[in-house]
Structures are given as C-alpha cells and as structure tokens.
Amino acid sequence: MTVTVDDSAIARRSRQASHRGFEGLSLADTAPEKVGEVREVCARGDNPFCGDELEVRVRLRRDGAGGWVVERAAFDGYACTLCLAAADALMEVAEGMAAADARALTGDDACALLGGLEVGRTRKGCVELPATVLSRALLTVVE
C-alpha cells in the first residue's frame, strides 16, 4: 500500500511533531568541563515555490573516536503538512546517528520514513527541504 500526501498519518505527524521546538536545546545548560565535547549547530532554509521556511538545530556530542554524534535534533518554522511531517521523521531518525550519516539523509529517506510516501515533482521540495537544512547545519562538523 502506498502512502500519499493526504494520508491521515502525515497530517497527524505534522500536528503532533515530537521534534518541533527548541526548548532544552541550549548549550547554556552544559557543564563547563563538557563544553568542548558538546556543540550546537543550526541552519535555515526555505522553499520559494511554496513558502515553506524551516530552521534546524542540532546538539552534538563527541563520540569515543573523536567524531560527532547527533544527541538531539529539532526543527521549527512555517511549512506545509508534508514538510513538517518529513522534518519530524528526519529529526527523529537523526538522533543517535554519526553526524556524517545524518548529513547524508535525503528527501527519499524522509519518504521511506513516512511509510513509503510517494510524492510528485511539485511536492518533492516539501520533503527535501528538511533534509537540505539538516545537511547544511551538519556541514560545519563533518570532516
């Protein structure tokens, strides 16, 4: 069965997005001795064709090998139902991933996470925007 853009699960996820909002994502709460091991990055982006605007913030921590792992990922903004649902799914799956792996997530990954969502050419940008903004944020830490 194919999931479509008007599926009730898409609407529900956009309304009840668990990764929307930046509360508790500040580095101000980090103990001074841990500051070098924790980092926050962010990026913004928009889709000029439909008016979607998103900001993504990611809290990273050093792993044992000196790389970065996504500790928490969140988004906020003004966007369509499809974009919000895709953003929520991508932020959820990014948590716990190596930053390089999270940076490689795509709009196609968002569609898969939303149950095999199929979008046409005109809605492709709605699911790609969250992946693009997440990737842009993580660009600063991926070596």
Per-residue pLDDT reduced to its tens digit, 59-115: 999 988 888 999 999 999 999 999 999 999 999 999 999 999 999 999 999 999 988
pLDDT band at 34 (very low <50, low <70, confident <90, very high): low
Please check the confidence at residue 138 and state whether its pLDDT lies above 90: yes
pLDDT for residue 28: 59
Per residue in 36-65, pLDDT (tens digit) is 688 999 999 999 888 999 999 999 999 888
Please check the confidence at residue 29 and state whether its pLDDT lies above 60: no
pLDDT for residue 4: 61
What is the residue whose two structure tokens read 């842009």? Answer: 136
pLDDT for residue 72: 95
Nearest Cα to Cα of residue 73 among 99, 106, 52 = 99
Helix, strand, coil percent values for the chain (each to nearest 5): 40, 25, 35
pLDDT for residue 7: 67
